[in-house]
Amino acid sequence: MFRVIRAAAAILLFLCQPLSAAVVDLAHQPVLRFVVTGDTGGTHSELREGIVAVSERVHVDGIILVGDNFYPCGISGLADPQWTKITAHFGPAHLPIYPILGNHDYGDQQERAGGYSTWGHPDSGAELQATGRIPLWRFPARNYLLRSPLADFVMLDTQPIALGFAKSIDGSATAHQEISWLTSTLDRVHSRWRIVVGHHTIYSSGIHGRKNDATQQRMRALLPLLRGEHVDLYVCGHDHDMELMGDLRRGDDPVFLVSGAGSGLDTLRPRHAAGEPPTIYPRFPANSYFGFAVLEISENRLAISFYDRSGKRTAGPFLVTKHR
């Protein structure tokens, strides 16, 4: 009986504690440059040509993959043949890949009568276990920190937050643990630029961002934390388009980047809700196209550019600057 009570207490203690931080140190250099894309899990090669073309023109430090790495319902394990979506899609660029999970990596869970329905038999933990087994795949934990003196990328699993997980599902943290981890991690970082990377939108002119449903409201509840911790940029996917929102002169809010045009396309439409940040790119009416963003970060500026699937720059650079 004592063993049962002690085990239950240990579980309760685990659920109430913030997550430990996995840290990946980036090489210290005067400029960091990352390809940013997401929602790529439906194909093997939509962006391959373009990413290779950009990486041949300029030095690129890696690919930030913002979730929905495998459609339609994640992978079943390390032996799943869908891993060729990673090796064929990104392998030819010979760049390290830094992923996070998206809702489809969890089986596209939907809220149903106080619980969640899940498609297929996803094993989201297998994506972490693939580190060291799939070439260039760097996924040390569901939440981790890409750290450098120039910029810190806080890599966040937003699925528990967006769906309000009260308990662990498929190896996840709870929503409370995720928010505690984000808070404690932002408290500890001291680099020049602070960037948070998640899958779900906070603002977007795509289909998810326009819904303003419970999922969106849970994500927007992070805004006071992002403002208070002076986050410069929030990066996500989830909507299958590319969009930049906010004020490049930086007020209290971060700038918001959506880069989810990796394997499917959705329609962008103007938002009309009060209090939302304006769209910087694209101009409306807008046509979605397969492509990706590139972040170029130096001491005094963060530049965001957009590219199509062939590697042609379509817009930017859009600049956020710091002079202190």
Nearest Cα residue to 204 out of 111, 131, 276: 276
Average pLDDT, stretch 47-72? 97
Q: Which residue has the tokens 């890409």?
A: 146
pLDDT at 247: 94
For residue 261, name the pLDDT band (cuts at 50, 70, 90): very high
Whether residue 10 has pLDDT greater than 60:
no
pLDDT tens column, 70-119: 999 999 999 999 999 999 989 999 999 999 999 999 998 877 777 777 77
pLDDT at 251: 77
What is the distance between the alpha carbons of residues 211 and 217, in angstroms, rounded to a whole number?
A: 10
What is the number of structural domains in the chain? 1
Average pLDDT, stretch 27-41? 95
Print the domain residue range for 187.
2-321
Residues facing residue 64 across a β-bridge: 36, 98
What is the phi/psi pair of residue 316, to 5°?
Answer: 100, 180
pLDDT at 27: 87
Mean confidence (pLDDT) of the chain: 91
pLDDT at 199: 98
Query: Quick one: DSSP state of residue 113?
Result: T
| Residue 28, token pair as written in the block | 């210290």
Average pLDDT, stretch 166-187? 95
**Which CA distances in Å does 174 have to 12, 18, 106, 161, 305?**
12, 10, 14, 8, 34
Average pLDDT, stretch 10-35? 72
**Which CA distances in Å does 106 have to 66, 169, 197, 312?**
14, 9, 17, 33
Whether residue 121 has pLDDT greater than 60:
yes
For residue 309, name the pLDDT band (cuts at 50, 70, 90): very high
Average pLDDT, stretch 135-155? 96
| Residue 71, token pair as written in the block | 């459609």
For residue 2, name the pLDDT band (cuts at 50, 70, 90): very low
pLDDT at 17: 45
Average pLDDT, stretch 247-253? 86
What is the phi/psi pair of residue 302, to 5°?
Answer: -120, 115
For residue 19, name the pLDDT band (cuts at 50, 70, 90): low
**Could you tell me the CATH number of the domain that includes residue 196?**
3.60.21.10
* Cβ proximity of 255 and 320 under 8 Å: yes
